[in-house]
Every structure is written in structure tokens, then in C-alpha cells.
Amino acid sequence: MDSWENDEAIQRFREYLRIPSVHPDVNYDECVEFLKRQANELQLPVVVHEIMPGKPVVVITWKGMEPQLPAILLNSHMDVVPVYKEFWTHPPFEAKISEDGYIYARGTQDMKSVGMFHLEAVRRLKAAGVRLKRTVHVSFVPDEEIGGEHGMKVFAQSEQFRALNVGFGLDESCPTTSTKVIRAFNGEKTNRQSKVTCRGNPGHGSLLLPNTAGEKLHYILDKFMKCRAGEMEKQAQGAYVGDLVTINLTQIEIRKWCTEAGEDVTFEYIRHNAPVKITKIDESNQFWTALLCAVKEMGYDVLCNVCPGTTDARFVRQQGIPVINFSPILNSPVLLHAHDERIHVDVFRQGIDIMEKVLEAVANI
């Protein structure tokens, strides 16, 4: 316990975790002040962009020896999802360390840990007198957990973002139960939310009328469930969820189904995100090969898939910038958004070790 209490990196992490930047109606002031102090300790410039009122984007910059080269972006989000305190072993914003070495707090996995991996990697490299070729921007953005519309989306489209000259980015992936393989993502599934409307022949409930809305709805639901069953079968055979169509009122054939169901059946998209090109993970992407080489030199490996959900990385990819989602949290239960979210202190330290080597590799290309 004494070694944990005396570890400055762990104490900085715990201080960050204690800031209740939780939805709804997040106030980011404490996060901003905390990050400004980190920048001052590191003797690095920090800029707070507030493109949307009350939605600050904090960027800490470490200038490289060759600043004309495209920069590296290390991105994380400051906000966390709601908690239900009655289901937690320890208070979710106390950041208590249990006797067996787990830090319990909302954000330990998603994703304040990764933000601190980024900062602590910079801190270690600077303390060792390392100078990197490329400039490194460490960004902390708001509102990822509610879609990022007023966070990374507007920031990535801004002149302030373009001025950063980003050439490659890292963002969040997810923990893994493996002790040797890190889960990474090079793209994301496209989210399509739709609304189906069925209109039919109205009449008294005691009658059996033809061409009712219920009959049409039954047809549509039957199609959905049959497709969903097919995807479930693939999953049972070992397919990764990022490679499956997870059907929750979202399937490209829906227009045809509505036509087949009969007249007066329509649908509309509530959310229709445009497809975003995935980041290449072959020799054409020098950042990927450098990352993979650094990880393997440490005795680990990377399994890269399409993310089954969405992250802020999609907004950066939309600008034509390659991004790898990379959270080096090994040997951990996956507790994103869950009760008793936690990370072991040794896993946290390990994550800093890995991020330090990865950052040095990608920023020296």
C-alpha cells in the first residue's frame, strides 16, 4: 500500500478521477484547472479552445525538433457516464485503492486512465531529456459520451484544429483480459438509427380487419429478427462483434422490406452517419508499423479490429487523418460504463510504460 500512496503518477491519476465530470450537465472547470496545472508542471504551453460555450477543449503541446513535420495527437475525453452509487463497492468518485490494489472510480477505464497514460508518457520522456522529432499535442475534449457533437466534432472541423497540423492520432480502444495482447481499433462501425412507421386500416377492436398496421409491423420485425439471428450465429462461431451487423433497427435492406410489407409503410433515419474510411494497418502506414514494432519489442502484441461502437476518433478520421484507437489496459475485466469500474495500480503503471515507448516510436518517424 505504501508504494501506491507514494507513487506520484497514481496520485495524479486519482486526483483526476475525483473530479465528477459526469453527465448530465457536466461542468468541466475542475478538469480544465487540473490539466492547466499538469501543463505548468511539465513547463509546456496549454491552450483552451471553447468553440461551443461551456465545452472546452484543452490542448497541451510539446514542440518537436522538426515542427514542420505533421504532429502526433494524443486524444482523450474528460467526461464520464452516470453512476448508480448503490451498486458500487466504493464511492465512484473517491478513487479508493482496495487492499488488493484496484483503484475504484468512474473513468478508470473509460477513459481518464488513457488521458493520464498520454500525459505521464510525455512527463517521463521529458524527465529523461528525450527530444522527439514531431510535435505532440495532448488533447482533452468534452462530451464524447453523448456523441461528441459539441466536442471533437466541431473542434476537428475548426481552424484551430487545422493549425495543429496533425498527421497521426491515438484515441481510446478498450481493456483486454489478455496479459500480452492489446486491443486496438482502426475504424468504427457506422451508426444508423431509423424509425419505421406503419399505417393501416383502422376500425373497431372487435373486428378482424385486413391490412392493419400491426400486420405490417409484424412483417418488419420478423425480417429484423431473422437477420439478427443470422448475426448471432456468426458470433457464436467466434466472429468479433466489430465485424457483425448489430441489428437494433438498423439494416440497409429496410427500404425493400417496407415496400414488401405493403402500402403506407415508411421509414426515416434519425441518425445517418456517413461512412468513414478506416485507418490502414499495413506497411503503407508508417505510424502503425512503428507502433506495432514498439509494442512487440516490449513483448506484447496488438489485435486490431473495427470498433463495435463509436469514439471521437471518427471525427479526426473524417479529416483524412489516420487514427489508431489504443488503450494499453491489459489483464483487466472490461468494465466500460459498468458498476465498480476499476483498474489495478500495476496495470496502470504498465499502461504508462507501453504508451511511453509507443509515443517515442511514432513521434520519431
The answer to whether residues 139 and 97 belong to one domain is yes
| CA nearest neighbour of 93 among 138, 36, 153, 26 | 26
Q: Both 144 and 243 in a single domain?
A: no
Q: Identify the helix (H) or strand (E) that includes residue 342.
A: strand 342-344
Q: Looking at the structure, do residues 114 and 160 belong to the same domain, yes or no?
A: yes
Domain stop point among 216, 239, 272: 272
Domain boundary among the residues 272, 293, 327 is at: 272
Could you report the average pLDDT of every consecutive run of 10 residues in the chain (365 residues)? 81 98 97 98 98 98 98 98 97 97 98 98 98 98 97 98 98 98 93 76 76 83 88 89 74 65 74 83 97 98 93 97 98 97 98 98 97
Sign of the CA dihedral 199, 201, 203, 206? negative
Sheet with 55-62, side-by-side order of all strands: 46-52, 55-62, 136-141, 71-77, 166-171, 323-326, 181-188, 301-307
Active-site residue among 79, 120, 312, 341?
79
Q: Tell me, yes or no, if 360 is annotated catalytic.
A: no
Would you state the pLDDT for residue 252? 47
- The pTM of this model reads 0.86
Taking the C-alpha atoms of residue 7 and residue 11, their distance in angstroms, rounded to an integer, is 6
For residue 65 the three cell numbers come to 525538433
Whether residues 169 and 256 share a domain: the answer is no
Per the structure, the complete domain to which residue 252 belongs is given by 192-272
260 and 121: one domain?
no
Query: Half-sphere exposure of 345 toward its Cβ, with a 13 Å CA cutoff?
Result: 22
What's the confidence (pLDDT) of residue 4? 80
Domain CATH code at residue 10: 3.40.630.10
* Active-site residue flag, 79: yes
Q: Which of 243, 272, 301 is the last residue of a domain?
A: 272
**Do 311 and 226 share a structural domain?**
no
Q: Are residues 318 and 240 in the same domain?
A: no
Q: Report the relative pairing of strands 71-77 and 166-171 from DSSP bridges.
A: parallel
Asked if residue 334 is part of any domain, the answer here is yes
Please state, in angstroms and as integers, the Cα–Cα distance from residue 129 to each residue in 126, 132, 276, 298, 362, following that order: 5, 10, 39, 21, 17
Residue 89 lies in a domain: yes
Q: Does residue 132 share a domain with residue 17? A: yes
Catalytic option among 143, 144, 145, 172: 144
200 and 288 fall within a common domain: no
Same domain for 254 and 241, yes or no, is yes
What are the residues whose beta carbons fall under 8 Å from the beta carbon of 248, sequence distance 6 or more?
A: none
- The answer to whether position 49 is within a domain reads yes
Which residues 6+ apart lie within 8 Å of 316 measured at CB? Answer: 73, 75, 152, 156, 166, 169, 171, 323
| Helix 112-127, helix 345-363: angle, nearest 10 | 60
pLDDT of residue 193: 72
Residues 178 and 239 in one domain: no
Whether 54 maps to a domain, the answer reads yes
pLDDT of residue 198: 83
pLDDT score recorded for residue 361? 98
Domain presence at residue 278: no
Closest CA to 78 of 44, 45, 34: 34
Q: Tell me whether residue 277 is in a domain.
A: no
Answer yes or no: is 291 within a domain: yes
Domain shared by 182 and 253, yes or no? no
The structural domain count of the chain equals 2
Q: Note the pLDDT of residue 268.
A: 76
Q: What is the pLDDT of residue 244?
A: 85
Residue 20 lies in a domain: yes
The whole-number pLDDT of residue 150 equals: 97
